[in-house]
């Protein structure tokens, strides 16, 4: 039952569910129009290159989703598969080729990489103008200074779902669990940008529950199923569960769960993002909005260089 607020549903006697799908659908509708206009103006749809080194099952699920979203909005998704035994140089060479390909507007590299490939060499080789998931040091630096670079899409989605659901962040005590470069740290920076009073917790934090109980907004990105339980929360807290974990469903299959134990949390929180269906759907839509910006910037730059 919708309660009339964007992306929000209230279930009987339960918390407000902050749903990503309706917000993502709205963003995708705008993108479909904008990509059609881009293609009409510049003669071809932009390409999103997804670099996959080796293959594992969770990557395959994610890749299918992103390629489907590309198709929906009129973007050409190009999967660049590299064998798991490739050297770091071979991976960087492939990225250099994509950097030089004017049809390719954005590049994402699927994580995790095989352990013999140093992450930073691969990240450093991406052209910052095509780094639409904001992992290059230039974009990370721009974010920390409050400039307008490409934001890591998952971190942005965790903040955007609050804003688009009408949840005030300014002045609130906001607690983030996780300090990774792709989710926790950029989410904390973005929440500071929204004037939250931000505390970051991580694997070495003592007494996690004590800090969690202080939160008016809690963003959890630890990758640990069931890490946060209802007894660690203050009544009325808003919870954004970024975790995506594949666990046994008790019936011989598997299911997706977040980092928050939904059953014990649901009677304490005022609002919570479900897993699946919360932050996840929003991430891809935001990523493609970054692709539109990258493609437009690159096309305009090429045009101005041509007429100069
Ligand atoms: P990561 O493993 O790189 O980082 C995990 C962070 O959590 C670390 O900073 C660590 O210090 C902290 N942590 C781990 N165990 C902890 C504990 N017991 N107590 C407190 N802190 C702890 O993971 P990541 O890449 O940041 O991803 C985090 C989660 O978000 C994962 O479940 C991942 O699958 C999910 N994710 C979701 C999306 C999406 O679209 N929703 C996208 C990317 C990642």
Nearest atom in ligand 1 to 179's CA: 9
For ligand 1, the distance from its centroid to the CA atom of residue 122, given in whole angstroms, is 21
For ligand 1, the distance from its centroid to the CA atom of residue 175, given in whole angstroms, is 14
Nearest CA to ligand 1 atom 40: 280
Q: Which residue has the tokens 């039952």?
A: 1
pLDDT recorded at residue 238: 98
Cβ–ligand 1 distance for 278 under 6 Å, the answer: no
pLDDT recorded at residue 3: 44
For ligand 1, the distance from its centroid to the CA atom of residue 24, given in whole angstroms, is 22
Cβ–ligand 1 distance for 280 under 6 Å, the answer: yes
Whole-angstrom distance between the N-terminal and C-terminal Cα of the chain?
A: 57
Q: What angle do CA 270, 276, 279 make, to 5 degrees?
A: 65
Lowest mean pLDDT among 47-56, 165-174, 210-219, 256-265: 47-56
pLDDT recorded at residue 2: 43
Choose one of 108, 133, 183 to mutate for the ligand 1 pocket test, by most ligand atoms within 8 angstroms of C-beta.
183
pLDDT in tens, 138-182: 999 999 999 999 999 999 999 999 999 999 999 999 999 999 999
Distance CA(53)–CA(109), nearest Å, equals 8
Distance CA(271)–CA(33), nearest Å, equals 32
Cβ–ligand 1 distance for 222 under 6 Å, the answer: yes
Report the phi/psi class of residue 293: left, alpha or beta, with left for phi > 0 and alpha for psi in -120 to 50. alpha
Confidence of residue 11 (pLDDT cuts 50, 70, 90): very low
Distance CA(272)–CA(238), nearest Å, equals 6
Report the phi/psi class of residue 236: left, alpha or beta, with left for phi > 0 and alpha for psi in -120 to 50. left
For the chain, domains (ranges, CATH) are: 7-18+165-280 (3.40.50.720), 42-140 (3.40.50.10860)
Choose one of 177, 178, 232 to mutate for the ligand 1 pocket test, by most ligand atoms within 8 angstroms of C-beta.
178
pLDDT in tens, 28-64: 999 999 999 999 999 999 999 999 999 776 677 788 8
Residue 9 confidence (pLDDT) above 90? no
Cβ–ligand 1 distance for 202 under 6 Å, the answer: yes
pLDDT recorded at residue 254: 93
State the DSSP H helix or E strand holding residue 167, giving kind and residue range, or none if neither.
none
Averaged pLDDT score across all residues of the chain: 94
Q: Which of 78, 79, 84 is nearest to 53 (CA)?
A: 84
Q: What angle do CA 244, 119, 241 make, to 5 degrees?
A: 20
Residue 201 confidence (pLDDT) above 60? yes
Q: What is the pTM of this model?
A: 0.94
Residue 82 confidence (pLDDT) above 70? yes
Distance CA(215)–CA(218), nearest Å, equals 6
The answer to whether 32 and 45 have CB atoms below 8 angstroms apart is no
Residue 260 confidence (pLDDT) above 90? yes
Structure tokens at 234: 């203050």
| Average pLDDT rounded to a whole number, residues 2-23 | 71
Choose one of 135, 222, 225, 260 to mutate for the ligand 1 pocket test, by most ligand atoms within 8 angstroms of C-beta.
222
For ligand 1, the distance from its centroid to the CA atom of residue 221, given in whole angstroms, is 4
Cβ–ligand 1 distance for 286 under 6 Å, the answer: no
């Amino acid at each position: 039952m919708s309660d009339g607020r964007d992306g929000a549903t209230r279930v009987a006697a339960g918390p407000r569910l902050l749903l990503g799908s309706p917000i993502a659908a709205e963003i995708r509708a705008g993108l479909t129009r904008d990509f059609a206009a881009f293609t009409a103006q510049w003669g071809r749809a932009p390409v999103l290159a997804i670099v996959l080194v080796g293959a594992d099952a969770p990557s395959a699920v994610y890749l299918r989703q992103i390629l489907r979203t590309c198709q929906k909005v009129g973007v050409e998704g190009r999967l660049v598969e590299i064998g798991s035994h490739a050297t770091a140089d071979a991976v960087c060479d492939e990225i250099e080729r994509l950097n030089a390909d004017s049809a390719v507007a954005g590049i994402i590299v699927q994580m995790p990489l095989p352990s013999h490939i140093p992450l930073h060499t691969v990240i450093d080789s991406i052209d910052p103008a095509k780094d639409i998931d904001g992992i290059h040091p230039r974009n990370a630096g721009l974010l920390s200074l409050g400039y307008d670079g490409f934001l890591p899409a998952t971190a942005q989605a965790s903040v955007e779902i609050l804003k688009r659901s009408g949840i005030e962040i300014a002045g609130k005590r906001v607690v983030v669990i996780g300090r990774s470069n792709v989710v926790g740290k950029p989410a904390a920076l973005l929440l500071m940008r929204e004037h939250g009073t931000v505390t970051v917790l991580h694997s070495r934090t003592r007494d996690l529950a004590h800090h969690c109980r202080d939160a008016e907004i809690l963003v959890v990105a630890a990758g640990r199923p069931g890490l946060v339980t209802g007894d660690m929360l203050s009544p009325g807290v808003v919870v954004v569960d970024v975790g995506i974990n594949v666990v046994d469903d008790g019936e011989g299959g598997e299911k997706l769960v977040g980092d928050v134990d939904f059953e014990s949390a649901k009677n304490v929180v005022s609002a919570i993002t479900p897993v699946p269906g919360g932050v996840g759907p929003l991430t891809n839509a935001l990523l493609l909005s970054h692709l539109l910006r990258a493609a437009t910037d690159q096309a305009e730059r090429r045009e101005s260089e041509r007429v100069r």
